Homo-oligomer: A and B are copies of this chain.
Amino acid sequence: MSDYTSVDGAIPFECLRVDLVPGRTVIVHIDLQNDFLHDEGHYGKSGIDIRHMQRVINPINALTAEARQRGVPIVWTRHGTKGVVDGGPFMQHRPFLKDGGLRQNTWGYKIYEPLGALPDDWYVEKTRLSAFFSTNLDVILRGLKAKTVIFTGVLTNQCVAATSKDASFRDYMPIVVEECTGTTLPNLHDPAVEMMRVGWAAVSTLEDVMAQIEELPLTNSPVGD
């Protein structure tokens, strides 16, 4: 990896090492829907290289399984609009979405089935890059008394970066699991991860965050306050 943070003077940040808070940890899986991950989804069928996004599938399955063991609540976000009218500049930036893709109430909008989302998990419908913007995500996290929030998903340099950043604005401690994030522009993956690491999130390996989850008490449901 290039050294993105080499500087001449003093280092203008300190990397965070965040310990998961028992009873106050939540996982947010970002936009793991057919349109991004499935070969027949809108991105795949548009000829976009989705392999770097698909790499997240196995690590996320491992993470989700461990989290379910410990009662860590799981939130799934999905990106989509009714159409171009509520899509904003995002749609103008991505002309291949003009006539379809990332549309509410379509097959492509569903969570990719092998990831095992359950009806009783939490769901967030988003229309912009950040899953906090004009959604119920903050309502859910406050209701769950979340303090440490684990983020995975796609795209590293867009929705994952935007959502983890917005989490830090609201005083949640965001933890991004590197292997569980992917993008359509793999050359931007490493610098995006670096921006999070130096700017607004703890960046963790899957191994490390799994080890931390394993040490949580078995019942990790929200505590009193």
> Would A171 and B143 count as touching, CB distance under 8 A?
yes
Query: Please, which residues of chain B bring their CB within 8 A of the CB of A191?
Result: 4, 188, 191-192, 195
By beta carbon, the residue of chain B nearest A137 is B134
Q: Determine the main DSSP class of A at the interface with B.
A: loop
**Which of chain B's residues have a CB closer than 8 A to the CB of A204?**
none
Chain A positions 129-174 with a Cβ under 8 Å from a chain B Cβ: 129-130, 133-140, 142-144, 147, 157-158, 161-162, 165-166, 168-174
Is the CB of A76 closer than 8 A to any CB of chain B?
no
Q: Find out whether the CB atom of A200 lies under 8 angstroms from the CB atom of B129.
A: yes
Bound form: Cα–Cα A50–B7 in Å: 10
Near B by CB (< 8 A), chain A positions 85-122 give 85-90, 92-96, 122
What's the least CB distance linking A164 to chain B, in Å? 11
Complex CA–CA separation, A67 to B47 (angstroms): 42
Name the residue of chain B whose CB is nearest to the CB of A191.
Answer: B191
- Asked if A187 contacts B5 (CB within 8 A), the reply is yes
Q: How far is the CA of A135 from the CA of B86 in the complex (A)?
A: 13
Copies of the chain in the assembly: 4
Is A208 part of the contact surface with B, judged by Cβ < 8 Å? no
Q: How far is the CB of A76 from chain B (nearest CB, A)?
A: 13
Cα(A129)–Cα(B170), bound, Å: 11
State whether A170 touches B185 (Cβ < 8 A): no
Q: Is A178 an interface residue (CB 8 A)?
A: no
A129 in contact with B169 (CB, 8 Å): yes
A134-B137, A134-B138 given; 19 more Cβ-contact pairs under 8 Å: A2-B2, A4-B187, A5-B188, A12-B184, A14-B92, A86-B139, A88-B139, A88-B169, A89-B168, A89-B173, A128-B169, A129-B165, A129-B200, A130-B165, A133-B166, A157-B195, A157-B199, A158-B200, A191-B195
